[in-house]
Amino acid sequence: MLKGKHIVLGISGGIAAYKSAYLLRLLIRKGAEVQVVITPNGKEFITPATLAALSGKPVVSEFFAANTGEWHSHVDLGLWADLMIVAPATASTIGKMANGIADNMLITTYLSAKEQVMVAPAMDLDMWSHPSTQRNVETLRRDGVIIVEPGSGELASGLSGKGRMEEPEKIVEAAEKFFAAQHTLKGKKILITAGPTYENIDPVRFIGNYSSGKMGFAIAEEFASRGADVTVVAGPVSLPLSHPSVKRIDVTSAKEMCCECVKLAPSADVVILAAAVADYAPEEVAGSKIKREETGDMVLRLVKNPDIAATLGASKLPGQMLVGFALETDHEYENACRKLQKKNLDWIVLNSLRDPEAGFMKDTNKITMVSACGETVAFEAKSKREVAADIADTIFRNVPEK
C-alpha cells in the first residue's frame, strides 16, 4: 500500500521525536519515498543528520538556507505529498495547524497540502486533556485531518496517562489503512441524509424531532477523509460541516429532502440515510401565524410524508448500496430486519433508545449492523466519529470495485 507513495513526515519538538526515526525507517522499508520537515524545536530532540541519512534526502526546516540565502519553497512539498504525517505533533504544533499560524515550514507545508494529513499527538496527559488542545484537535478533525489518538501509559514527565504518541507500527498501520480505503473509495460518490426535518404548521411553528445531525455529519466527514466524493442533504442542523470536500445541501421538510435525494441518488454509489425524517406533515400549512384568540382548541390533520429510504430502495440501481438507520425502543432487531427488507436496503444500522449511550444529541452511539445477506455485526458503545469509521469499514468491505 505504501510502495511509491510520497510521504511528508513532519516532526515537531517533543520527546517522542526519537520514535520518528524508527517511523521513518518503517515507511522507507515499506517502499515509501519520505521527505522530512522538522520544526526548529524538533531539532532540539533529534538531529537532521540522522533523519537525512535514513530518508536519503536533506531535511527541510528553514525558509532560507543559512549560508546561501536560497529560498526553500514552502508550498512545493505540500503539493508533492500523497500523505503528510505529523509525528510527534505537540500541543503547540496542533494549535498552529488548527489556527493557521504559519511561522515554520511544517505549518506552511500543512497549509499547502493537497492530500490527506494525519497527526499523531504526543504530550503530557494534562496538556492533552486541556479544553484548548481538545478544541484544536476537534478543529483539525473537522478540517479532515486523521488523528491517530495517543495511547495511555508512562509519559516523559514521569506521570502516567493518555498522551503517549502512538507506536510507529500503529502509525504505519493507520497510513496503510488510509491508502487502502482511498483505493476503494476514491471517486466513489456517497449521498448522506442527516438531521431532523421540520414540517411547518404556520410560518412560525413546526413539527420536528430532537435529531442533532451528529451521526450523519460524522459519517460524511469519515467518508470524505477516506477520499470519497460526499454530498450531505441536511435538515435543519446547527452544526458546522467543515470538511473541505463535503458538499452540503440544506433543506427543511421531508418533501424537500426527498426531492434532493431523488435527484442525486442515480449518480450515487452509496446512499446512507441517517436523517430522522418526520413521518407526518400537517395537511395544510397556514399562510399566516395561527392566532390563539381566533382559533380556540385546534385539531391538526397530518398526512404521511414520503419514505425516502423506501423510494430510493424501489429505484435502486444495480451495484448501488443503500444503508438505512433504525432507532427503536422495543423489538429492536426484529423491527430493523423488517425495515431492511421492506425498504430494500443493503444494510441497516440499528440503535436502541434503551441504550444510554445511543440516541439523539448524544456524542456516543452503540450500533448493530445487519445486512440483507443476513450478516450481523455488533459494536461496543463508541464516539459517533468512531461509529462512523466502523460503518465505513463495514460498508466499504462490500462496495464493489469500479
32 contacts ligand C5P (rule: CB under 6 A): no
Per-residue contact flags (x/-) with ligand C5P for residues 184 to 213, judged by CB under 6 A: ---------x--------------------
Binding flag, residue 273, ligand C5P (CB under 6 A): yes
Nearer to ligand C5P among residue 168 and residue 235 (C-beta): 235
Q: In what helix (H) or strand (E) does residue 314 lie, and over which residues does it extend?
A: helix 308-314
Cell of 124: 503530557
Q: Give the residue ranges of DSSP H helices in 242-286.
A: 254-264
Q: Which stretch binds ligand C5P (CB under 6 A): 11-19, 58-66, 72-80, 307-315?
A: 307-315
Strand partners, 200: 206
Which residue reads 498501520 in cell numbers? 173
Any catalytic annotation for residue 209?
yes
> Closest approach of Cβ 290 to ligand C5P, in Å?
25
The CB-of-216 to ligand C5P minimum distance in angstroms stands at: 9
Does 307 sit near ligand C5P (CB under 6 A)? Answer: yes
Q: Which of 213, 227, 313, 324 lies at the binding interface for ligand C5P (CB under 6 A)?
A: 324
Give the CA angle between residues 316, 397, 141 to the nearest 5°: 100
According to the binding rule CB under 6 A, does residue 326 interact with ligand C5P?
Answer: yes
105 touches ligand C5P (CB under 6 A):
no
- Which one among 277, 321, 337, 389 touches ligand C5P, defined by CB under 6 A? 277
Q: Is 368 helix (H, G, I), strand (E, B) or coil?
A: strand
Number of residues that make up the chain: 402
Q: Which of 55, 90, 109, 305 binds ligand C5P (CB under 6 A)?
A: 305
Provide, rounded to whole angstroms, the least separation between the CB of residue 194 and ligand C5P: 9
- Cis peptide leading into residue 88 (ω within 30°): yes
CB of 339 to ligand C5P, least distance (A): 5
- Residue 265 found at the interface with ligand C5P (CB under 6 A): no
CA distances from 37 to 105, 115, 175, 402 (A): 7, 16, 18, 36
Helices 384-396 & 214-225 angle (0-180, nearest 10): 50
Q: In this structure, what are the phi and psi dihedrals at residue 221, rounded to the nearest 5 degrees?
A: -65, -35
Q: How near is the Cβ of 384 to ligand C5P at its closest, in Å?
A: 16
Strand 347-352 and strand 33-38: the pairing is unpaired
> Exposed, middle or buried by CB within 10 Å (0-12, 13-18, 19+), for 232?
buried
**Which residue's CB is nearer to ligand C5P, number 36 or number 237?**
237
309 part of the interface to ligand C5P, by CB under 6 A: yes
Judged by CB under 6 A, does residue 254 bind ligand C5P? yes
Q: Which helix (H) or strand (E) holds 194?
A: strand 189-194
Stretch that binds ligand C5P, among 50-58, 77-85, 275-283, 366-374 (CB under 6 A): 275-283
Catalytic site residue from 41, 200, 209, 344: 209
Instruction: Report the residue number, 9 or 321, with the smaller CB distance to ligand C5P.
Output: 321
For residues 270 and 321, the answer to whether their CB atoms sit within 8 Å is yes
CB atoms within 10 A of CB 334: 10
Give me the sign of the Cα torsion angle 48, 54, 58, 59: negative
- Least distance from C-beta 230 to ligand C5P, angstroms? 16
Q: Which chain residues interact with ligand C5P by CB under 6 A? A: 193, 254, 273, 275, 277, 279, 305, 307-309, 324-326, 339
Catalytic residue annotation: 209
